[in-house]
């Protein structure tokens, strides 16, 4: 790619309908920088007519031999090129995403590189996907093959935009489908940019649309559309359940990556320096706006006092600042409205008897204009209190303690969510025992919030359905078909 796309020269008021960049039927809406409340750009909003057109264009593109007959290794080439285009634009994407979300440049760069890696991993998997010749149990050759599902809707949240977009768009395209991406209302810019990169990299027309707009209008219309044959969703549990109900009526496959309320467990023999750094990173990175944030700390009674006092000192020293300032650890939250919701949850917990060990107050002074909230640690709470039950999606840690392992496991599991868990110990047998008993899609032992494209990710209980990543990622966007090929020289012998 000789010349880089420059976001300053892009009209974000244009939505993407099958590769046509044009105004949407829903007009425009502002995307706001949460650092100071200023306008980043007016972005285009899709209308219901755009949904119809995007679906129709997707179906036309699917029927075109240029895509339909492309061999998997040829499709993989398109995906490799998209990955390369993202990587070449990583810094540009990072700067744009930092303006749009307030996140630190370090985080947005990591998200951009993760998206590039996702496209490359999926392309490599596609190159090496085999179909099965199954053991014949009769006079046939029997095989299992996979085919595209059709038009897929990808609905994403605001907290890791380009990475979560890539985690749906790449495997859906790899499966030979057309994709309609519905980004979150607070963060549509990067998804529109991604569409431009995909077409620049040679994606055939019609295969990717990006339709920003209200979830209850555009998202809902996509989920209900009779020609949308799969929905891949990441977002809140309430929305996920609603989508699952509609998918149930349509008998349509759906994958749901939902919320979390993850426990982090510290044993008395843990390396305390590592555990403190891990707990801080696990809950306060991304300013706590992470589905896998380790928000319930279970620290062993015997080390509780010393551990918590060091943890609080370190939390107070975290550097709050603009996302584009070097060294910032705690950038603003996504929006003032979301910050206010988090603050209200903490206030309610304190009113109910929780004790603030640090944070818990909306900062003023240089931070007054932005959506900042400080790292907040509370104790004097029970695992059954609202603050320990509900997802906060902000930088808030509740301290609990334990002494008996069975009771610990029961309490860690006593929550409607089951997304992740952290365990800090030098006792490898205890780590294994507890890891296997915890109800969660991912357990990190002596580390936290680490990811690999090759390791499946997802939740149990109210944290979701299905898995992203791993060797079977692409097949989750395909229909499996059995073929029996008769080889007997005798007729079936009936009729």
Stretch that binds ligand NAD, among 15-23, 181-189, 307-315, 401-409 (CB under 6 A): 181-189
Query: Is there a catalytic annotation at residue 257?
Result: yes
Q: Does 459 bind ligand NAD (CB under 6 A)?
A: yes
Listed in order, strand segments (DSSP E) in 183-252 are 208-210, 228-234
Residues 6+ apart with CB under 8 A from 466: 254, 255, 256, 257, 458, 476
Q: Is 234 in the site for ligand NAD (CB under 6 A)?
A: yes
213 CB neighbour count, 10 Å cutoff: 28
Alpha-carbon Rg for the chain in angstroms: 24
The pair of three-digit structure tokens given for residue 236, joined into one six-digit string: 């809140």
Element (H, E) at 141: strand 140-148
Query: How many other C-beta atoms can be found within 10 angstroms of the C-beta atom of residue 348?
Result: 13
The mark string for 385-404 relative to ligand NAD (x by CB under 6 A, - otherwise) is ------x-x-----------
We find the least distance from the C-beta atom of residue 285 to ligand NAD, in angstroms, to be 14
Applying CB under 6 A, does 171 fall inside the site for ligand NAD?
no
CB of 254 vs ligand NAD, minimal distance in Å: 11
Q: Nearest distance from residue 371's CB to ligand NAD, in Å?
A: 14
- Min dist. Cβ of residue 253 to ligand NAD (A): 16
Q: Which is nearer to ligand NAD, 425 or 463 (CB)?
A: 463
Does 333 engage in binding with ligand NAD (CB under 6 A)?
no
Each residue of 19-45: b (16+ CB within 10 Å) or e?
Answer: bebebbbbebbebbbbbeeeebbebbb
Q: Cα–Cα distances in Å, from 299 out to 19, 192, 445?
A: 52, 44, 15
Based on CB atoms, which residue is closest to ligand NAD, 133 or 344? 344
Nearer to ligand NAD, 19 or 235 (CB): 235
Q: Of 26-34, 237-245, 474-482, 484-492, which part binds ligand NAD (CB under 6 A)? A: 237-245
Q: Is residue 313 annotated as a catalytic residue, yes or no? A: no
Shortest Å distance, C-beta 58 to ligand NAD: 18
Sheet strands side by side (includes 420-424): 355-358, 376-379, 396-402, 294-300, 262-266, 420-424, 442-445
Angle of the 90-101 helix axis to the 105-127 helix axis, nearest 10 = 130
456 binds ligand NAD (CB under 6 A): no
Site for ligand NAD, residues 257 to 316, rule: CB under 6 A: 257-260, 291
Q: Which of 50, 122, 39, 40 is nearest to 80 (CA)?
A: 122
Nearest distance from C-beta of residue 231 to ligand NAD, angstroms: 8
Q: Are 82 and 198 in contact (CB under 8 A)?
A: yes
From 34, 58, 235, 375, residue interacting with ligand NAD (rule: CB under 6 A): 235
Strands of the sheet containing 178-182, edge to edge, are: 20-23, 14-17, 208-210, 178-182, 151-155, 228-234, 254-257, 464-465
Helices (H) and strands (E) in the chain, counts: 15, 22
Give catalytic status of residue 291 as yes or no: yes
Non-local CB neighbours of 251 within 8 Å, separated by 6+ positions: none
Taking each helix axis as running N to C, give the angle between helix 90-101 and helix 161-174, from 0 to 180 degrees, rounded to the nearest 10: 130
Residue of 14, 16, 182, 291 with catalytic role: 291
Cβ proximity to ligand NAD, 261 vs 304, nearer residue: 261
Smallest separation (angstroms) from ligand NAD to the CB of 413: 18
Question: Can you tell me which of 189, 210, 243, 299 binds ligand NAD, judged by CB under 6 A?
Answer: 243
First to last CA, the chain: 64
Rounded to 10 deg, the angle between the 72-88 and 90-101 helix axes is: 70
Q: Which residues of 444-466 are buried (b: 16+ CB within 10 A; e: fewer)?
A: bbbebbeeebeebbbbebbbbbe
- For the segment 185-224, give every residue that binds ligand NAD (CB under 6 A): 185, 215-216, 219-220, 223
Q: Which is nearer to ligand NAD, 267 or 284 (CB)?
A: 284
Catalytic, out of 14, 107, 257, 391: 257
Active site annotation includes 168: yes
Nearer to ligand NAD among residue 184 and residue 349 (C-beta) = 184
Rounded distance between C-alpha atoms, residue 346 and residue 392, angstroms = 9
Binding-residue pattern over the window 120 to 159 for ligand NAD, x denoting contact by CB under 6 A: -----------------------------------xxxxx
| Least distance CB 245 / ligand NAD (angstroms) | 10
Catalytic (active-site) positions: 168, 257, 291, 468
Can you give the binding site for ligand NAD, defined by CB under 6 A?
155-159, 182-185, 215-216, 219-220, 223, 234-236, 239, 242-243, 257-260, 291, 391, 393, 419, 459, 464
């Amino acid at each position: 790619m000789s010349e880089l796309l420059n976001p300053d020269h892009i009209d974000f008021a244009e939505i993407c309908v099958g590769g046509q960049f044009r105004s949407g039927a829903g007009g425009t809406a502002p995307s706001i920088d949460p650092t100071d409340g200023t306008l980043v750009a007016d972005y285009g909003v899709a209308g219901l007519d755009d949904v119809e057109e995007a679906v129709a264009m997707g179906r036309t593109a699917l029927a075109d031999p240029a895509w339909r007959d492309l061999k998997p290794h040829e499709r993989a080439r398109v995906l490799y090129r998209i990955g390369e285009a993202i990587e070449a634009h990583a810094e540009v994407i990072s700067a744009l995403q930092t303006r749009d979300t307030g996140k630190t440049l370090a985080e947005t760069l990591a998200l951009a590189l993760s998206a590039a890696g996702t496209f490359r991993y999926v392309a490599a998997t596609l190159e090496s996907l085999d179909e099965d010749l199954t053991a014949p149990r009769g006079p046939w050759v029997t095989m299992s093959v996979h085919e595209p599902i059709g038009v897929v809707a990808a609905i994403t949240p605001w907290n890791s935009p380009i990475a979560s977009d890539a985690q749906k768009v790449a495997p859906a395209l790899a499966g030979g489908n057309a994709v309609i991406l519905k980004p979150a209302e607070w963060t549509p810019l990067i998804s529109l940019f991604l569409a431009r990169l995909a077409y620049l990299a040679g994606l055939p027309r019609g295969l990717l649309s990006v339709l920003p707009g209200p979830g209850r209008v555009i998202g809902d219309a996509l989920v209900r559309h009779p020609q949308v044959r799969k929905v891949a969703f990441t977002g809140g549990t309430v929305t996920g359940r609603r989508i699952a109900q509609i998918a149930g009526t349509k008998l349509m496959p759906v994958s749901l990556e939902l919320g979390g309320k993850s426990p982090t467990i510290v044993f008395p023999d843990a390396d305390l320096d590592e555990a403190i750094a891990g707990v801080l990173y696990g809950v306060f990175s991304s300013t706590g706006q992470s589905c896998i944030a380790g928000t319930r700390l279970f620290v062993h009674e015997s080390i509780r006092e010393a551990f918590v006092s060091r943890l609080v000192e370190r939390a107070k020293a975290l550097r709050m600042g603009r996302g584009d300032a070097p060294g910032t650890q705690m950038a603003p939250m996504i929006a003032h409205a979301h910050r206010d919701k988090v603050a209200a949850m903490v206030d309610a917990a304190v009113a109910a008897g929780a004790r603030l060990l640090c944070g818990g107050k909306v900062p003023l002074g240089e931070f007054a204009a932005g959506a900042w909230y400080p790292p907040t640690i509370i104790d004097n709470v029970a695992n059954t209190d609202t603050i320990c039950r509900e997802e906060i999606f902000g930088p808030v840690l509740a301290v609990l303690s334990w002494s008996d392992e069975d009771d610990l496991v029961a309490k860690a599991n006593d929550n409607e969510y089951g997304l992740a868990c952290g365990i800090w110990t030098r006792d490898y047998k205890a780590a294994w025992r507890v890891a296997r008993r915890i109800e969660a899609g991912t357990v990190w032992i002596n580390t936290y919030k680490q990811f690999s494209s090759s390791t499946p990710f997802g939740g149990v209980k109210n944290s979701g359905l299905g898995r992203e990543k791993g060797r079977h990622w692409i097949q989750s966007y395909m229909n499996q078909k059995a073929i029996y090929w008769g080889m007997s020289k005798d007729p079936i012998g009936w009729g």
